[in-house]
Structure 1
Amino acid sequence: MSTATRPSGLFVDGDWRAAAGRIPVLDKYSGDVVAEVAEATADDIKDAIGSAHAASGHPLDAGERARVLTGVADLMEAGADRFVDDYVAETGFTTADARNELRRAVSIYRLSAQEAVRIAGEQVPLDATPGSGNRLAFTVRVPVGVVVAIAPFNAPLSTVAHKVGPAIAAGNAVVLKPAEKTPLSALNVVGAFAEAGLPPGFLQLVCAPGSTAGPALLDDDRVRFYTFTGSTAVGRLVSAGAGLARTHLELGSNSVSIVADDARLDDVVRLVATAGFRKAGQVCTSVQRILVVRSRFDELTTALAERVGSLTAGDPRADGTDLGPLIAEPEAERAFSWIERASARVRVGGERHGSVLTPALLGDPAPDSEVLTKEIFAPVVSVVPVHDFDEAITRVNAGPYGLQTGVFTQDLDRAFHAVRSLRVGGVMVNDTSSYHADAMPYGGVKDSGHGVEGPPYAVRDMTDPRIVVLNLRRPEREDFHA
């Protein structure tokens, strides 16, 4: 889609609005301006919330919600080339990454459509309550109302789908705020919803810097649910500002994969080569740390170095490129400085060329180094030797994050020991921390946030149970004709 024909980027009450301010969108590899989108003001955002609030008073029926969501999935498939081109330009991720995420987003909208027609309450037994034997009670699930969805730069199709799809499926109205650096994917999705026939008011799009959007979105009691994916620092601000509204927060991590002495190292090497470096390591569950029993440390690092050294970083549109640039050059500079300060042996990679950082494998960094204690969000994996399996679990639990952990072992007892002991949202046995199927509950604990993605689970979170109690009178026999 050319900049001449592209909608403005500010969508309120079913209309694309003009705006005085413009936000340039850069090609993350070339640095060229590929588009400009309308910059929403605080007043625009208030209008968007007002439109959503008005629409939420008249929820669409389940069949209509399912029809719209299915239509969006169909339109995304039909317009795949446009979605992919914009995605690669604004993220810097490879074409293969773009097509994979588009497939995921389409699947999420289809899953959400299915959930729209499955929403149901349950019967509540009251017989055990004295004096309630003649009462019949059940719940119905109703939409929460206005949902604010704040999306990150690193998954502008699938994460938006995980927020908007379930919210619409549940009957809510949504105000979508995409990441400032990657608004084009969200713009295309909102266009698909409009084309699929979603009535005005049920989906708004506001593009604005956090300094504008944050206060306007958080300081409004009409919002009843916030779903946010981003850094732990900003997540704390969302939590503090949300008041009595519910929140789903998917925050930071420096995810670990544990390698036991009986692990199949070929599997570890193959999976980590993808899970540690896809999207240039800019994924919450990217393998950042590998804790390996010391007896396998040398064997694993040697095999990993050979595999990682074969990966190609550069132009995301070029054939054979495995990973493109980081989202901005300052992020590459930061990650490179962390490598330099890690006091580790760089087994391979770690060179910076502008915003491109070559895939880096570090051996045994200092325990207090940033590459081990913070979220690097870059193509850097550190391999750390541990005395035994229990030490690895202790190290994971001692850290502030708790999203997902991979565990490689052939011992079922050891695997379930990890499942019971690790304080994380998910344990992936014989897989890396990065495994994520879109139908599963996905979320973390501790500084990684709370709440879960996955349409079946998110739809339930985005509805309220309403209890209905019928005080039934036994009919007189002469009036009873059953």
Structure 2
Amino acid sequence: MLLIDGEWSETEEKIAVRNPFNGKIVGYASGATRAQALAAAKHAKAYESNLTAYDRFEILNNTAAQIEREEAEFVDQIVSECGACVKEAQKEVRRAVTLLRVCAEEARRISGEAIPTDVTSDRKRNLAITLRVPIGLVCAITPYNRPLNQVVVKLAPAIAANNSVILKPSENTPLSAVKFVKCLIANGLPAKMVSVVTGDPREVGEALVTSPDVDMITFTGSRAVGEHIAKSAGMIRTTFELGDSGALIVLDDADLKSAADVAAKGAFATAGQSCRGVKRILVQHSVADRFAEMLVEEAKKLKFGDPYSAENDIGCVIDEAAAKAVEERVNESVEHGAKLLYGPPREGAVLGPRVLDFVPRDSTLVCEETFGPCAPIIRIKDLDEAIECINSGEYGLQTGIFTANIHRAFSAAHEIKSGAVVINDGPQFESPFIPFGGVKKSGFGREGARFAIEEMTTVKAIVI
């Protein structure tokens, strides 16, 4: 369904949404035209919210409460359209609830400052007051890997900041997004304040990112698409989260058991389809053999397959083509010297966990973002080599390091070019209270409740 100018409607063109595990149709989305996308943006731009901070607090808080009550329904929707296993879908719903509540609180804390002006030689005693005001119309474009939480990550701070927002969810997973928006409206959000446009990204997405009515674009997705949007958008605010080849460093003084546990969770969660997951593990030579054995043990503990089974830890990737692409990268890495220590046969879109050792640091598997349950080990001489390996790459979202030496930890924290360095945990670490975003080709701008709100507001000065 489309939501334009406060009204839900359907189009003749339907997009079948399929369960990636069994190929069954689980619902339909409407395919919008370019004209409908532009009309949606124009109507959304024209709407000006008069919600108070407390109104927005209540809407977001009450929405969180409803999603919490209806967790089972949201979990079923997520599993059916993206193939995440039940355990992962439950985590996603709870993350979304937490973020909604944090953004609700932040809506009541958007403030400016008073600045004295008698600090220059003219000694004029004026008073400058700054306010944070809504940026206007925020266009949010979201990916398929977390169909509820990725939408909440963008809409919750936009609403907290009192912006109108137009949402273009992934054409693969639009149903969770529509369900969430209906929940917002049921809890008091004016229907004209949010728009939903589904359809072909080449038509609908292109229309939105070039629309003169859009004041900001917030995009999570592939680097290629992000770079195209950056060139097309013009002089408006943009934030991009374009993925990573997320590194976990394991040094010779590390707690190997903890490091192996974190590496497995970071590499295999959400079937490896996470922008901040573990995509490569840089392990010092002297402990690499032991670490590899431990990581294989962790991988073998995981159950995978039918995402509807509460027993499974891993469901499937978004479709069989994606699974084949991951498999090809693994095979290519093996052809160039890597050793596959563990990797069950692929069945359709289901990929079991894969552990590789002796992976060449220049292989596509680790240089590009590989969206699948892979844990590639790259053997390194020392911390300096690990830092050089990370900094010479094109990405820089989040990095983890395991070491017992505080000097090594802080050396890595200062020298690694990354949006965040996590000491004695993995790059998958997340919290709604901290800034999240990258450097280099991983994008720019920051998410995280308070930081996203800052991105979605402008500073206005009033001089008295």
**By the TM > 0.5 criterion, same fold?**
yes
Match of 2:27 in 1: 35
Deviation at 1:272, TM superposition (A): 1.5
Cα contact 2:87–2:310 (8 A) shared by 1: no
* Amino acid paired to 2:422: M
Deviation at 1:366, TM superposition (A): 2.6
Deviation at 1:130, TM superposition (A): 3.5
Pairing 1:239-388 to 2, within 5 Å after superposition: 239-343=230-334, 344-388=338-382
Cα contact 1:63–1:116 (8 A) shared by 2: yes
* Amino acid paired to 1:28: P
Pairing 1:94-113 to 2, within 5 Å after superposition: 94-113=85-104
Cα contact 1:350–1:361 (8 A) shared by 2: no
SS of aligned partner of 2:215: strand
**2:118 maps to which of 112, 115, 127:** 127
Identity between Structure 1 and Structure 2 (%): 39
Q: What is the CA–CA distance in structure 1 between the aligned matches of 2:50 and 2:246, rounded to whole Å?
A: 40
Match of 1:400 in 2: 394
Match of 2:425 in 1: 431
Q: What is the CA–CA distance in structure 2 between the aligned matches of 1:438 and 1:126, rounded to whole Å?
A: 36
* 365-374 or 241-250, larger mean C-alpha shift: 365-374
Deviation at 1:125, TM superposition (A): 2.5
Deviation at 1:215, TM superposition (A): 1.9
* Amino acid paired to 2:412: A
Q: What is the CA–CA distance in structure 2 between the aligned matches of 1:176 and 1:45, rounded to whole Å?
A: 10
Cα contact 2:29–2:199 (8 A) shared by 1: no
Q: What is the CA–CA distance in structure 2 between the aligned matches of 1:412 and 1:350, rounded to whole Å?
A: 39
What CA deviation, in whole Å up to 9, does each residue of 1:120-163 have, x standing for no partner?
11112211233352211111111000000001101111111110
Pairing 1:27-66 to 2, within 5 Å after superposition: 27-56=19-48, 58-66=49-57
SS of aligned partner of 2:218: strand
**2:6 maps to which of 7, 14, 29:** 14
SS of aligned partner of 1:290: strand
Cα contact 1:309–1:349 (8 A) shared by 2: no
Cα contact 1:142–1:463 (8 A) shared by 2: yes
Q: What is the CA–CA distance in structure 2 between the aligned matches of 1:444 and 1:413, rounded to whole Å?
A: 24
Match of 1:157 in 2: 148
Q: What is the CA–CA distance in structure 2 between the aligned matches of 1:384 and 1:223, rounded to whole Å?
A: 44
Pairing 1:178-257 to 2, within 5 Å after superposition: 178-257=169-248
Aligned residues between the structures: 461
SS of aligned partner of 1:71: helix
* Amino acid paired to 1:12: I
SS of aligned partner of 1:352: coil
Q: What is the CA–CA distance in structure 2 between the aligned matches of 1:43 and 1:201, rounded to whole Å?
A: 18
* Amino acid paired to 1:20: E
Instruction: Output the aligned Cα RMSD.
Output: 1.1
Deviation at 1:350, TM superposition (A): 5.0
Q: What is the CA–CA distance in structure 2 between the aligned matches of 1:22 and 1:89, rounded to whole Å?
A: 18
Q: What is the CA–CA distance in structure 2 between the aligned matches of 1:125 and 1:196, rounded to whole Å?
A: 42
Q: What is the CA–CA distance in structure 2 between the aligned matches of 1:448 and 1:291, rounded to whole Å?
A: 19
Match of 2:136 in 1: 145
SS of aligned partner of 2:301: coil
Match of 2:15 in 1: 23
Cα contact 2:263–2:281 (8 A) shared by 1: no
* 61-70 or 176-185, larger mean C-alpha shift: 61-70
What CA deviation, in whole Å up to 9, does each residue of 1:141-195 have, x standing for no partner?
1100000000110111111111000000001000001011011110111110111
SS of aligned partner of 2:192: coil
Deviation at 1:237, TM superposition (A): 1.1
Match of 1:391 in 2: 385
Unpaired runs of 5+ residues, structure 2, are none
SS of aligned partner of 1:155: coil
Deviation at 1:430, TM superposition (A): 0.2
**1:415 maps to which of 409, 415, 418:** 409
Match of 1:476 in 2: none
* 141-150 or 300-309, larger mean C-alpha shift: 300-309
SS of aligned partner of 2:178: helix
Match of 2:164 in 1: 173
Cα contact 1:339–1:350 (8 A) shared by 2: no
Cα contact 1:12–1:205 (8 A) shared by 2: yes
Q: What is the CA–CA distance in structure 1 between the aligned matches of 2:44 and 2:284, rounded to whole Å?
A: 53
| Residue 167 to residue 132, structure 1, CA distance change in 2 (3 Å) | farther
* Amino acid paired to 1:14: G
* Amino acid paired to 1:469: V
Q: Which has the larger radius of gyration?
A: 1
Q: TM-score, normalised by structure 1?
A: 0.94
Q: What is the CA–CA distance in structure 1 between the aligned matches of 2:120 and 2:45, rounded to whole Å?
A: 38
* Amino acid paired to 2:360: A
Q: What is the CA–CA distance in structure 1 between the aligned matches of 2:123 and 2:77, rounded to whole Å?
A: 60
* Amino acid paired to 1:235: G
* 10-19 or 392-401, larger mean C-alpha shift: 10-19
Unpaired runs of 5+ residues, structure 1, are 1-8, 471-482
SS of aligned partner of 1:276: helix
Cα contact 1:287–1:434 (8 A) shared by 2: yes
Match of 2:83 in 1: 92
* Amino acid paired to 1:171: N
Q: What is the CA–CA distance in structure 1 between the aligned matches of 2:416 and 2:345, rounded to whole Å?
A: 34
Q: TM-score, normalised by structure 2?
A: 0.97
Deviation at 1:67, TM superposition (A): 1.4
Match of 1:78 in 2: 69
* Amino acid paired to 1:377: F
* Amino acid paired to 1:321: N
Cα contact 2:166–2:195 (8 A) shared by 1: yes
Indicate yes or no: 2:456 matched with 1:462.
yes
Q: What is the CA–CA distance in structure 1 between the aligned matches of 2:115 and 2:223, rounded to whole Å?
A: 38
